[in-house]
Amino acid sequence: MTTRVTDAPLDLAPLLAETEDDACGALVIFSGTVRNTNEGRPVSGMTYDAHVALAERVLAEIEAEALARFAVRHCRIVHRIGALALGDVSIYIVVRAAHRAEAFDAARYAIDQVKARAPIWKEEHYTDGASRYLDGTPLRAPSPEADAR
């Protein structure tokens, strides 16, 4: 089974290799990295928590939605959890399409959806030793109407 959520450092090369496709002229990659400040406070690192089984499902769903909504041929998402240092990569999104506009749109869709829907939580650590969980987006269960569609 493809792993999308892992506590190991993320590696871009295998994502590029598994999506290689001569029918694609455009590749867009998004990556999130741990930033050294947030709202003016100096940050020393970040701990990511996740509901791994549900997050795996949600990331796979977002990949499938990107393929269904945009003219793209590949969308792969991997997210790291656990303790990350400054500069560490927390997420890679790799999109390949025939043309660039669709690749950009799909990558943007994917990261926006990950932030809104993936059951993943950031705890920010500060250089003064304090830490806090970041505010986020409340999850909603899919409505029965949506299921029936």
Partner 1 sequence: MHIRVTFYGRLKQDTGTRQAALELPGDRATVRDAVEAALKAYPTLAAHLDTLACSVGAALADPGTPIRDGDEIGFLPPVSGG
Q: List contacts with partner 1 (CB under 8 A).
A: 32, 48-51, 53-57, 79, 90-91, 111, 114-123, 133-142
With residue 44 as reference, give the H or E element that holds it: strand 41-50
* Interface positions with its own copies (CB under 8 A): 12, 20-37, 86-87, 98, 100, 103-104, 107-108, 111
Query: How many Cα neighbours within 13 Å face the side chain of 11?
Result: 6
Residue with tokens 């993936």, as numbered in its chain: 118
The binder of 107, among its own copies, partner 1, none, by C-beta within 5 to 8 A per type, is: its own copies
Residue with tokens 């690749």, as numbered in its chain: 103
Nearest to 55 by CA among 29, 84, 77, 33: 77
Closer CB to its own copies, 30 or 52, in the complex: 30
The binder of 87, among partner 1, its own copies, none, by C-beta within 5 to 8 A per type, is: its own copies
In the complex, what is the shortest distance from the CB of residue 144 to partner 1, in angstroms, rounded to a whole number?
8
Q: Indicate the residue type of 34.
A: V
The binder of 127, among its own copies, partner 1, none, by C-beta within 5 to 8 A per type, is: none
Tokens of 112: 């926006």
In the complex, what is the shortest distance from the CB of residue 29 to its own copies, in angstroms, rounded to a whole number?
4
Q: How far, in Å, CA of 118 to CA of 5, rounded?
A: 11
In the complex, what is the shortest distance from the CB of residue 108 to its own copies, in angstroms, rounded to a whole number?
6
Cα 101 to Cα 22, 96, 98: the distances in Å are 18, 11, 9
The binder of 4, among partner 1, its own copies, none, by C-beta within 5 to 8 A per type, is: none
Closer CB to its own copies, 53 or 86, in the complex: 86
Beta strand 41-50 pairing with 26-33: unpaired
